[in-house]
Amino acid sequence: MTTDELKLETEDVELEERASPFSALYAHWERSHWSPLDLDFGTDAATFAAMSESEQHGFVWMFANRFHAEFNVARLLAPFLLAAPDWEMQVLLATQVADEHRHMQCILRIYEEVFGVRGGINAVRELADEGLDPVSKTLLYDKLEHWTLPLLEHQDEDTFLRAVVAYHLMGEGVVARTGQYLAAGQYERYRGFPGLVEGQRRVSRDEARHIGIGVSYVRRRMEADREHTTELIGSMMTELFQLAADMLGTANESMTGLVDSGYGVTPQEFYEVAMQFAQKRLRSIGLDG
């Protein structure tokens, strides 16, 4: 499995794999504007309506994770803006704030037009909350808050570095990429989801840039003090990888059918794909993984 299988453009793959000048990342954003209002979900709605009840349940659960991911990352970007170490980074984070809220608008359209959920974001959030599983809550949302919310009180370099590693490299670069990769397989399996495929393509391009922000910043920190930066990231990875292994046990015990109906894989297979993306992210910042 390679990141090319996410059908990213060559330029976007490169953003995830090596450092870029901040000016180039900003220019990429200016070239890549798109509107969720341009997506057509008519065929997707018909395909979803023709699915069995269990297949529909799996899709809605998969998008519960997508909703919570986008909602939380949009909310948690505010502390990054306050703690940005310089103007260039602040500008990039501001573009990311816009991206994440645009992604949320896309998700809300899918809930309304494909899944038939009425009542706006409050109704969508209520349904998504029902699908919030303990593995996602613990491994992604709780840990993401654990490493990002300290920016509200501490705006030093190490706190910012931990937040970037957790948010940009692990949250977007591993968890989101794993979900997108496996969701693409489901779209191909069921066919008839052109709107979801195109929406994911556009979101994936935005997220390649977000991952690139993280890679470029961490590379900068590695150049300034490789030993300290490596030690800090290594400590985070030890904790995260142990937690991921623990959560795999939880998923195997109680979520096998749900993961299969949503992503078409076993929890073990989901874990293995995630670990491959994690190794890619570590290599992109100059670590062997």
How far apart (Å, rounded) are the C-alpha atoms in residues 241 and 237? 6
Helix (H, G, I), strand (E, B) or coil at 37: helix
**104, part of any domain:** yes
Q: What is the DSSP letter of 142?
A: I
Which secondary-structure segment (H or E) carries 61?
A: helix 53-83
Contacts of residue 67, defined as CB under 8 A and 6 or more positions apart, other chains included, come to 104, 107, 111, 124, 125, 128
**14, part of any domain:** no
**232, part of any domain:** yes
How far apart (Å, rounded) are the C-alpha atoms in residues 60 and 31? 32
Token digits for 7?
Answer: 């059908």
Q: Which domain holds residue 76?
A: 21-29+37-284
Helix (H, G, I), strand (E, B) or coil at 203: helix
Looking up tokens 């998923």 gives 251
The band of 263, judged by pLDDT with boundaries at 50, 70 and 90, is: confident
Contacts of residue 73, defined as CB under 8 A and 6 or more positions apart, other chains included, come to 100, 144, 167, 171, 172
**2, part of any domain:** no
| Mean pLDDT within 177-196 | 88
8 A C-beta contact, residue 62 and residue 186: yes
pTM of the model: 0.91
Own/partner long-range contacts of 249-255 (Cβ < 8 Å, ≥24 apart): 250/134, 250/135, 251/135, 255/133, 255/135
Q: What is the DSSP letter of 268?
A: H
Q: Structurally, how many domains does the chain consist of?
A: 1
* Mean pLDDT of the chain, nearest integer: 89
**190, part of any domain:** yes
The band of 49, judged by pLDDT with boundaries at 50, 70 and 90, is: very high
Helix (H, G, I), strand (E, B) or coil at 126: helix
| Mean pLDDT within 245-256 | 86
Q: How many residues does the chain have?
A: 289
How far apart (Å, rounded) are the C-alpha atoms in residues 123 and 116? 11
Token digits for 288?
Answer: 């062997």
| Mean pLDDT within 45-67 | 90
How far apart (Å, rounded) are the C-alpha atoms in residues 99 and 106? 11
Q: What is the DSSP letter of 32?
A: T
**13, part of any domain:** no
CATH number at residue 132: 1.10.620.20
pLDDT at 8: 55
The band of 168, judged by pLDDT with boundaries at 50, 70 and 90, is: very high
Rg (CA), the chain: 18
**289, part of any domain:** no
Contacts of residue 43, defined as CB under 8 A and 6 or more positions apart, other chains included, come to 192, 193, 194, 195
How far apart are the two ends of the chain, measured CA to CA in Å? 17
pLDDT at 207: 93
**8, part of any domain:** no
| Mean pLDDT within 252-280 | 89
pLDDT digits (tens, 9 = 90+) for 95-144: 999 999 999 999 999 999 999 999 989 999 898 888 777 777 777 778 88
Phi/psi at 220 (5° precision): -60, -45
